């Protein structure tokens, strides 16, 4: 007999009806579990919203602090490709206050590594545990970073960043300028790189891929100028000095130096008043070098020629002032002699012959009265007389009562010797195919006559510039000794001695302008502070050093067949065109 089949609704050992009750309670348990999970998720979500709203500002600040933007910069090189500025990888130290165990220990031990550390400020920063990032010191040298690492302090760490390095130290510091803590250009050529060339925003230590920026400077010429200026400051006990080497055919600056110098790696040095750039960042009354322009004006405007005789025997009186010569000859002088003997009376009479309006117009035509700018920044604006009357015309004729940056004056003086063409100073090497603008400021004939006068002033025994002579280079130039204005008038025995030179004068290529600030009367200068005794011999030393560096040997300057003017050393007043 077959067994009856077991019912599917009855479990072994169970009673009929229990399965039906369990099946009915299943949907209820599922609903309860679902509701419980929903309530839990809602609670978690509400808590997250509350935390986000209550700490939104702190979270944002913390994230912002950990992001350090930097800039990758192209190299800066001189005209021959020698390195002046580059980016290097450096370590920057930061702290995570939440991980710092003993803030006092951190402050005290870091204070040993960094003696100038602001301990109070750091202790305050480390006390804020809600912050996760605090800069301690950026741009550390490897040895310093290793010293901090050896401390083994929890909560300290490093980031790699780019830092600007200047292999030449203070060399050309004023021209190069400097960058800020984020490697962004602030002054000088570094600022020009940001504004014109371009830099790359980076995180970390990613080097730029841009080609280097090639300057017109020549490291060798720059070093020679700075060395000779430093020697002159010591020799003549001066408070400072400045110097320029300018290519009068292209406007390229091969050297621009100002002492005391600045270190581009230490930007704060540039803020010290005595370290301001004296070449382009300051203005000065330049004294008798200005007579170069006064005579050029008289000759170019056909008011006089080098042979014109001017009666300078009497002192000149105007507006209650008396103008006289330092070493009067007590006889009429030719215009050439006015230049050679640096006669204030003669220069004033030539300017008065032109009149205030024509004299002012000539100076403006020579680009001396308007603002100027170079790649290294704006040049200090000239300080002009409030009005151009008779007195102002007289004093300006010999370089007083009008002040300008030496660089601006050098640009105008270049036109005096280069055939009359306008020169625009530049610190950036022009492209090989770049042309030179032919903008005449004075006639070629006037330029030729002025070159003869400048050469005679050095070659002749009577010239004030005879101590600037360098055999074989046909140097020509003009002295300037300007009293420095002070409270209530000009300061006695406080002068700026300067010498403006060009070489070779048969076909000028380079202009050299040197200024010494408040030199002292010494035994070497026979107790005088005149430019003929200090600035002129300094220029001679500069030219003798830079001539060979520029590929111009002394024998080349006087080689047969040289174009332009040939000067007879035994009788410099005679010349002939070849």
What are the tokens at 233?
A: 């400051």
Q: What is the number of other CB atoms lying within 10 angstroms of the CB of residue 258?
A: 28
Rounded Cα–Cα distance for residues 323 and 333 (Å): 16
Rounded Cα–Cα distance for residues 191 and 270 (Å): 15
Q: Cα 82 from chain centroid?
A: 18
What are the tokens at 364?
A: 């403006």
Helix, strand, or coil (residue 432): coil
Rounded Cα–Cα distance for residues 322 and 307 (Å): 26
CB 102 within 8 A of CB 114: no
Rounded Cα–Cα distance for residues 9 and 19 (Å): 7
Of 212, 271, 219, the residue nearest 80 (C-alpha): 219
Rounded Cα–Cα distance for residues 301 and 141 (Å): 62
Rounded Cα–Cα distance for residues 58 and 337 (Å): 79
CB 418 within 8 A of CB 507: no
What stretches of 171-309 show up as alpha helix (H) in DSSP? 173-176, 188-192, 219-235, 291-300
Residue from 258, 288, 342, 497 carrying the catalytic annotation: 288
Query: Any catalytic annotation for residue 343?
Result: no
| DSSP characters over 308-340 | -EE---S-EEETTEEE--SS--SS-EEHHHHHH
Q: Is the previous residue joined to 285 through a cis bond, with omega within 30 degrees of 0?
A: no
User: Which residue matches tokens 């910069």?
Assistant: 73
Please identify every residue annotated as catalytic.
Answer: 288
């Amino acid at each position: 007999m077959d067994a009856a089949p077991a019912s599917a609704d009855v479990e072994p050992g169970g009673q009929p009806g229990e399965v039906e009750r369990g099946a009915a309670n299943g949907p209820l348990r599922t609903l309860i579990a679902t509701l419980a999970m929903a309530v839990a998720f809602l609670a978690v979500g509400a808590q997250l919203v509350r935390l986000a709203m209550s700490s939104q500002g702190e979270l944002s600040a913390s994230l912002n602090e950990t992001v350090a933007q930097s800039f990758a910069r192209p190299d800066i090189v001189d005209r021959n490709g020698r390195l002046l500025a580059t980016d290097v990888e450096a370590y920057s130290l930061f702290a995570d206050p939440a991980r710092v165990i003993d803030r006092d220990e951190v402050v005290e031990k870091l204070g040993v590594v960094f003696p100038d550390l602001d301990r109070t400020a750091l202790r305050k920063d480390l006390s804020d545990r809600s912050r996760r990032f605090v800069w301690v010191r950026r741009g550390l040298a490897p040895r310093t970073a290793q010293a901090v690492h050896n401390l083994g302090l929890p909560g300290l760490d490093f980031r790699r960043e780019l830092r600007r390095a200047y292999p030449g130290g203070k060399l050309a510091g004023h021209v190069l300028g400097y960058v800020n803590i984020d490697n962004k250009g602030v002054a000088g050529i570094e600022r020009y790189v940001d504004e014109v060339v371009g830099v790359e925003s980076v995180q970390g230590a990613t080097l730029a891929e841009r080609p280097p920026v090639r300057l017109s400077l020549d490291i060798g010429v720059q070093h020679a100028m700075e060395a000779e200026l430093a020697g002159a400051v010591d020799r003549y006990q001066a408070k400072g000095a400045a110097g320029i080497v300018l290519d009068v055919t292209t406007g390229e600056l091969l050297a621009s130096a100002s002492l005391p110098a600045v270190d581009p790696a230490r930007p704060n040095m540039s803020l010290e008043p005595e370290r301001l750039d004296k070449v382009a960042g300051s203005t000065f009354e330049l004294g008798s070098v200005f007579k170069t322009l006064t005579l050029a004006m008289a000759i170019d405007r056909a008011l006089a020629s080098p042979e014109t005789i001017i009666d300078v025997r009497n002192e000149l009186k105007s507006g209650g002032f008396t103008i006289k010569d330092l070493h009067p000859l007590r006889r009429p002088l030719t215009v050439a002699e006015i230049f050679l003997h640096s006669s204030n009376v003669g220069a004033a009479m030539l300017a008065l012959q032109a009149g205030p309006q024509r004299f002012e117009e000539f100076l403006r035509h020579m680009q001396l009265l308007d603002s100027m700018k170079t790649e290294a920044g704006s040049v200090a604006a000239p300080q002009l007389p409030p009005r151009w009357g008779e007195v102002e015309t007289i004093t300006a004729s010999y370089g007083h009562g009008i002040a300008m940056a030496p660089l601006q004056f050098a640009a105008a003086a270049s036109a005096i010797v280069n055939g009359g063409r306008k020169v625009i100073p530049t610190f950036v090497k022009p492209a090989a195919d770049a042309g030179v603008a032919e903008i005449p400021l004075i006639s070629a004939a006037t330029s030729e006559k002025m070159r003869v006068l400048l050469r005679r002033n050095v070659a002749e025994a009577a010239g004030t510039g005879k101590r600037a002579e360098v055999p074989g280079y046909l140097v020509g130039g003009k002295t300037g000794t300007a009293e420095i204005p002070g409270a209530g008038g000009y300061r006695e025995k406080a002068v700026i001695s300067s010498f403006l030179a060009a070489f070779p004068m048969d076909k000028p290529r380079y202009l050299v302008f040197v200024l010494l600030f408040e030199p002292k009367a010494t035994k070497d200068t026979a107790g005088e502070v005149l430019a003929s005794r200090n600035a002129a011999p300094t220029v001679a030393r500069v030219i003798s050093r830079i001539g060979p560096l520029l590929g111009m040997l002394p024998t080349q300057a006087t080689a047969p067949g040289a174009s332009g003017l040939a000067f007879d050393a035994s009788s410099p007043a005679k010349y002939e065109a070849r």
